[in-house]
Amino acid sequence: MHETVKTTCPYCGVGCGVDAHLDDGRLVGVAGSQDHPANLGRLCVKGSALHETVDPAGRMRVPQVDGVAVDWDTALDTVADGFRRVIDEHGPDAVAMYVSGQLLTEDYYVANKLMKGFIGTANIDTNSRLCMASAVVGYKRAFGTDTVPTCYEDIECADLVVLVGSNAAWTHPVTYQRLVAAKRARPEMRVVVIDPRRTATCDIADLHLAIAPGSDAFLFNGLLANLSERDAIDAAYIEAHTEGFDQAIARAHREAPDIEAVARSTGVTVDELQTFFDWFADHERTVTVYSQGVNQSTSGSDKSNAIINCHLATGRIGAPGMGPFSITGQPNAMGGREVGGLANQLAAHMDFEQPGAIERVGRFWQSPGMATSPGLKATDLFEAVESGQIKAIWIMATNPVVSLPASDRVREALQRCPLVVVSDCMQETDTTACADVLLPATSWAEKDGTVTNSERCISRQRGFIEPPGEARHDWWTICEVARRLGFAEAFAYQGPTEIFREHAALSGYENDGSRDFDIAALAGLSDAEYDRLAPVRWPIDPATGRGRQRLFEDGRFFTPSGRARFVAITSTAPASTISAERPLVMNTGRIRDQWHTMTRTAKAARLMQHIDEPFVEIHPDDADRHGLAEGRLAEVIGEHGRYVGRVRLTRAQAPGALFVPMHWNAQYSHSARVGALIPTHVDPHSGQPESKHATVAIRPFAANWFATLLSREPIAPLTADYWARIPIDGGTRYEIAGREAVGDWTQWARDVIGADGEWQTYEDSAGPFRAARLVDGRVTAVLFVAADPELPSREWLADLIRSEALSLTQRLGLLAGRPAEAMPDTGPIVCSCFQVGETSVLEAIDADGLDTPEALGKALRCGTNCGSCIPELKQLIAQRLTETST
């Protein structure tokens, strides 16, 4: 039986509506929902692969205590008893939760209620601390509330879109594609990208300002000073609706007395600055979109306000096509902010500092004892675990051993902590490895609830497949622990609907227009109405039940005076400075096809083919200086940790700076947890770590040999000096390297792969060593070793292990060490949607003269689905054109 369920994508904050196609209850495909306001039918490559990631492989299936499978009662009793004992002996501040913007609002709401309202501690923080905390401070300082004033349509109808520290082409692909389409329709629209790297997002940029890392506040202070000098400010708006302009402008003038000063502090030429300033002055409809290049900084809050200042000074807020737009990363980063997931927030956009707020929330919850002051922020919280002040911690839907700065210390702190509880949907992660109690969680497609996207749109995620094993919903787990702690009555929910209604009611409780977040209109939803809930943007009008596209249309803000506040900004440089010992700046971030710590996206072999190993991007001049070459391995050394990855040479990197992906971890590589190299420097207002800026040294990884190993069965554990595990169709590929010569390769191969089966080994001039292991005539593993990384076509090797029986040509190939017949080598996959490799693209450019992405798309289909690879297609075309012209 065919059926379509409408749900929401669990990855990024774009929050796309997904039509899940079921066949006899099995998820067989996904498509973008035509009627969802976030995506209007589109999906990016990660969203399009959702059905490939829901198979139960790797899922956590049963609760475990000290590594032993137990029933749920035992596990929940262990958690509740452990928490109770610590609270009785050391007080409520000795326990903590660390949760996530990937929880559903209903899960998040009960976690926050349990900690702040019933256990009585605010020691609950979230990975949003690493993500949105500075944006929250920026909005609250300016507007009095954490309000995103804009919506996606504003990006489409703007005349100038400024993207600051956002690689939206890869990280918010559907929103970016909407921008691409808008610019195609109105070519006069201007796009400016502000990023130290030239990213895929620059593909449509009319101007790219490759600013010095961390210098955004200098730039926007410079812009503010420049706007005022040329009288491009809106004095009437400033007068009627804002306060603090004089101080802010005086500070900006002092920091940026002239454009040359801005050029010096940002490293951008005067001409480029002039163009940017002119465009900003000339375009009333301007949206500034900002993300982690702004937030993940020791001056992230100030960078946010430096941007917002420019919008207030020009009155560009609260109308179509304009506004400062902090675009959120996680699917429910916004929902988390709404329920008060951060340690310094209360629920429903209230906080500890507001007079009467603690009592109000306490009254509503009938709390036996509210937390009375903010709790520890993520990095402080883990330091308190390290120092023993926190003795029990419950981590849910986040992988801090990978994603926090100083992540080796985080791991050690967890190993020492007396009680570590981890709720995850996957069994093996770097964090589950540190747990005393493991609680299996349901995942996307299994759970029901709501999420809020970047434009305040609340959408339903719907459950439609059975969870594997004994996995349970996070809200249920939290309520069961609450019940065992003696709070049964306050946590007696029968399902997410009941939780949602309470959350909605709290948003309207004693609100009377004093708080921005108001969805009280939804507090009376029946179960059936909740099931049918259509996407809606908050705040919701209680009279009509309709949502709002944008806020502050009337120029009234939620500050005591009702005026928006300018913040006077003194720009500061990043905390780590380069030295002889660590002469390079390391920037970190995302790649197109992976999600965070890869627990879900790496399951789709298709998503591993774009970039399959940890890497480090470096400018060719730096590579020469440090003795590095493309495709070789490099070791990046930070103050407290090291990282090993493949060298990728690119002029998109500025000299002096490296880019390393945030994704790889101990499940996928030997030494590629980049968090270990990032010091714990945080923004003084938001506590957000400076994940975009660490100083490091780089050197070649001195490999004596390189190997590629493909196996039908996973091989564990690998003990080589370097390895990367790459899930492929039909098995796993490992790229391996060692520092020391291996004396007996036959023995090595048997030790690593397994001694049984029939072994065929070859040692001749084609390479130092190759071997195949056959069981019942089928190749189950192949190993190729060489002195350099130039190993045979991985496609050919993958074919060998996928074959039922070896053909003569395959046997001959094995003997020869290379395919016996010419074998198409696709190269790295450029278009993940249609599996089009670099080699095919280059051939089509060279042989068929196809020199536009459209022509390539017609011939090969690449770039015709989600469009995320179009920047790469353009790059390959440009590369071929310059190569043939020189």
Site residues, ligand SF4 (CB under 6 A): 9, 11-12, 14-16, 39, 43-44, 46-47, 173-174
Site string for ligand MGD, 435-474 (x = CB under 6 A): ------x-x------------------------------x
> In terms of C-beta density within 10 A (0-12 exposed, 13-18 middle, 19 or more buried), how is residue 261 classed?
middle
The residues with which 733 forms a beta bridge, in sequence order, are 710, 726
Strand runs labelled E in 564-716: 564-565, 584-589, 615-618, 633-637, 642-649, 657-661, 694-700, 705-711
| Interaction site with Mo ion (CB under 5 A) | 131, 329
Site string for ligand MGD, 639-668 (x = CB under 6 A): -----------------------x------
Q: Of the candidates 105, 286, 427, 588, which one interacts with ligand MGD according to CB under 6 A?
A: 588
Would you say 607 or 800 has its CB closer to ligand MGD?
607
Q: Is residue 800 within a helix (H) or strand (E), and if so which, with residue range?
A: helix 794-802
CA distance to 160, 276, 277, 319, per residue, from 282 (Å): 9, 10, 8, 17
Amino acid at 866: C
Q: CB–CB of 390/123 below 8 Å?
A: yes
216 binds ligand MGD (CB under 6 A): yes
Would you say 44 or 519 has its CB closer to ligand SF4?
44
Q: How far apart are CA 425 and CA 423, in angstroms?
A: 7
Min dist. Cβ of residue 833 to ligand MGD (A) = 14
Min dist. Cβ of residue 199 to ligand SF4 (A) = 16
Q: Is residue 8 within a helix (H) or strand (E), and if so which, with residue range?
A: strand 2-8
Would you say 233 or 404 has its CB closer to Mo ion?
404
Q: Give the SS3 label for residue 780.
A: strand
Would you say 432 or 711 has its CB closer to ligand MGD?
432
Q: CB–CB of 405/680 below 8 Å?
A: yes
Residue 166 touches which of ligand MGD, ligand SF4, Mo ion, none (CB < 5 to 8 A by kind)? ligand MGD
Q: Of the candidates 121, 292, 507, 686, which one interacts with ligand MGD according to CB under 6 A?
A: 292
Min dist. Cβ of residue 240 to ligand SF4 (A) = 38
Residue 291 touches which of Mo ion, ligand SF4, ligand MGD, none (CB < 5 to 8 A by kind)? ligand MGD
709 binds ligand MGD (CB under 6 A): no
Q: How far apart are CA 422 and CA 405, in angstroms?
A: 19
CA distance to 222, 321, 798, per residue, from 841 (Å): 43, 37, 21
Range 568-587, binding ligand MGD (CB under 6 A): 587
Residue 9 touches which of ligand MGD, ligand SF4, Mo ion, none (CB < 5 to 8 A by kind)? ligand SF4
Would you say 43 or 308 has its CB closer to ligand SF4?
43
DSSP 669: B
Residue 424 touches which of ligand SF4, Mo ion, ligand MGD, none (CB < 5 to 8 A by kind)? ligand MGD
196 binds ligand MGD (CB under 6 A): yes
* Tokens of residue 385, six digits: 């675990």
Q: Of the candidates 213, 496, 789, 837, which one interacts with ligand MGD according to CB under 6 A?
A: 213
Q: Which of 663, 667, 629 is nearest to 646 (CA)?
A: 629
Q: Which of 303, 349, 264 is nearest to 570 (CA)?
A: 303
192 binds ligand MGD (CB under 6 A): no
Q: Of the candidates 399, 461, 511, 609, which one interacts with ligand MGD according to CB under 6 A?
A: 399
* Tokens of residue 178, six digits: 């909407």
403 binds ligand MGD (CB under 6 A): yes
596 binds ligand MGD (CB under 6 A): yes
Residue 43 touches which of Mo ion, ligand SF4, ligand MGD, none (CB < 5 to 8 A by kind)? ligand SF4
SS3 per residue for 65-84 = ECCEECCHHHHHHHHHHHHH
Strand runs labelled E in 680-777: 694-700, 705-711, 722-728, 731-738, 758-764, 767-775
* Tokens of residue 11, six digits: 């990855």
171 binds ligand MGD (CB under 6 A): yes
Longest dimension (CA), the chain: 84
**Placement of tokens 């949105």 in the chain:** 132
Nearest residue to the partner ligand SF4, using Cβ: 47
Sheet holding 64-65, edge to edge: 68-69, 64-65, 437-440, 419-424, 392-396, 95-99, 124-126
161 binds ligand MGD (CB under 6 A): no
Min dist. Cβ of residue 59 to ligand SF4 (A) = 21
Residue 612 touches which of ligand SF4, Mo ion, ligand MGD, none (CB < 5 to 8 A by kind)? none
194 binds ligand MGD (CB under 6 A): yes
Would you say 292 or 429 has its CB closer to Mo ion?
292
Phi, psi (degrees; rounded to nearest 5) at 821: -115, 155
* Tokens of residue 619, six digits: 């400018």
Would you say 44 or 289 has its CB closer to ligand SF4?
44
Centroid of chain to Cα 614: 16
Q: How far apart are CA 194 and CA 593, in angstroms?
A: 22
Site string for ligand MGD, 536-555 (x = CB under 6 A): --------------------
Q: Of the candidates 298, 326, 330, 864, which one interacts with ligand MGD according to CB under 6 A?
A: 330
Would you say 194 or 737 has its CB closer to ligand MGD?
194
Range 90-129, binding ligand MGD (CB under 6 A): 100, 102, 127
302 binds ligand MGD (CB under 6 A): no
Q: Which of 818, 826, 821, 690 is nearest to 765 (CA)?
A: 818
Residue 399 touches which of Mo ion, ligand SF4, ligand MGD, none (CB < 5 to 8 A by kind)? ligand MGD
Choices 391-399, 410-418, 618-626, 798-806 (CB under 6 A): range interacting with ligand MGD? 391-399
Q: Of the candidates 7, 379, 597, 711, which one interacts with ligand MGD according to CB under 6 A?
A: 597
Min dist. Cβ of residue 866 to ligand SF4 (A) = 8
Q: How far apart are CA 302 and CA 570, in angstroms?
A: 8
Would you say 126 or 286 has its CB closer to Mo ion?
126
* Tokens of residue 792, six digits: 């045979």
Min dist. Cβ of residue 15 to ligand SF4 (A) = 6
Bridge pairing between strands 124-126 and 95-99: parallel
Q: How far apart are CA 573 and CA 567, in angstroms?
A: 18
Would you say 128 or 423 has its CB closer to Mo ion?
128
Range 411-440, binding ligand MGD (CB under 6 A): 423-426, 429
Residue 353: count other Cβ atoms within 10 Å of its Cβ. 12
293 binds ligand MGD (CB under 6 A): yes
226 binds ligand MGD (CB under 6 A): no
Range 25-64, binding ligand MGD (CB under 6 A): none
Min dist. Cβ of residue 396 to ligand MGD (A) = 5
The residues with which 404 forms a beta bridge, in sequence order, are none
**Placement of tokens 């040509």 in the chain:** 809
Would you say 49 or 417 has its CB closer to ligand MGD?
49
CA distance to 59, 464, 468, 630, per residue, from 54 (Å): 9, 12, 10, 35
Would you say 351 or 455 has its CB closer to ligand SF4?
455
Q: Give the SS3 label for residue 347.
A: coil
CA distance to 100, 135, 214, 298, 300, per residue, from 685 (Å): 20, 11, 16, 9, 9
Q: How far apart are CA 391 and CA 388, in angstroms?
A: 6
Q: How far apart are CA 83 and CA 795, in angstroms?
A: 52
Instruction: Please report, as ranges, the residues that interact with ligand MGD according to CB under 6 A.
Output: 12, 100, 102, 127, 130-131, 164-168, 170-171, 194-197, 199, 211, 213-214, 216, 291-293, 296, 329-330, 396-400, 402-403, 423-426, 429, 441, 443, 474, 587-590, 592, 594-597, 599, 662, 674-675, 678, 691-692
